[in-house]
Amino acid sequence: MIVMAGMIGAGKTTYTTKIAEELQTQPFYEAVDENPILNKYYEDPEKYGFALQIYFLNKRFKSIKEAFFDQNNVLDRSIYEDALFTKINVDNGNISEEEYQLYLALLDNMMEELSTLPKKAPDLMVYLDASFEHILANIKKRGRSFEQPTEENGLLSYYKQLHTAYGDWFEQYNHGPKLRIDADRYDVNNEKDWQNVFDQIQAKLNGKEIMIG
């Protein structure tokens, strides 16, 4: 099982689709378009912060259970990132300390359940590391109105906060093998670039390191 990681707009959905096609397996996508809370969160994060994180946690746990019992599945976001988003919401005053402790207790219970499954962690976590400019360009390109930063909604500061936090999060990730991909460097719609990326993924899955071309 492979899980993607990276902040909003890094390209996780595209990578998930292409990896799943290469492996001829099922992709599991983050619930966004059918998420009844996400756009409300962007309008009022203090009111909907906790509900959004519980929604994502529940959906992620369901996807992981389904993926664990199959072979070579790809998930476009890891459950390990959810705690990062939740902590940022706590720091920003959108989630109370009491809600945060409840969230962590629920997450711990879920992780204990995962330990009884055939695998205790993903075979590989692929982190898409992109420049802030790349992130903003992708957010604009995909065109979800509630994600667009304006002077009034404060999203630009929020995205910068996330972008900074992700680097530390990746360094601290220790649940299994991990691979950092420079998302600025590769256009995965270009066959040569994609082959380079997929070669790195295959090598890491096989416990090897390759020179990045």
**Residue 150 in marked binding region:** no
Instruction: Give the Cα separation of 78 and 99 in Å (integer).
Output: 21
CB 153 within 8 A of CB 125: no
What is the Rg, in whole angstroms, of the alpha carbon atoms belonging to the chain? 17
Is 76 designated active site? yes
CB 179 within 8 A of CB 126: yes
On whether 14 is known to bind a ligand per the annotation, the reply is: yes
3-state SS assignment for residue 179: strand
Tell whether 166 is in a known binding site.
no
Nearest to 165 by CA among 55, 79, 77, 89: 89
Is 185 annotated to bind ligand?
Answer: no
The answer to the question of whether 91 is labelled as a binding residue is no
The answer to the question of whether 212 is labelled as a binding residue is no
Through-space distance between the first and last CA atoms of the chain, rounded to whole angstroms: 25
Is 180 assigned a ligand-binding role in the annotation?
Answer: no
- Residue from 33, 76, 123, 182 carrying the catalytic annotation: 76
Per the annotation, binding residues for substrate are 30, 42, 53, 77, 82, 147
Q: What is the set of active-site residues?
A: 76
Per the annotation, binding residues are 6-14, 30, 42, 53, 77, 82, 147
Per the annotation, binding residues for ATP are 6-14
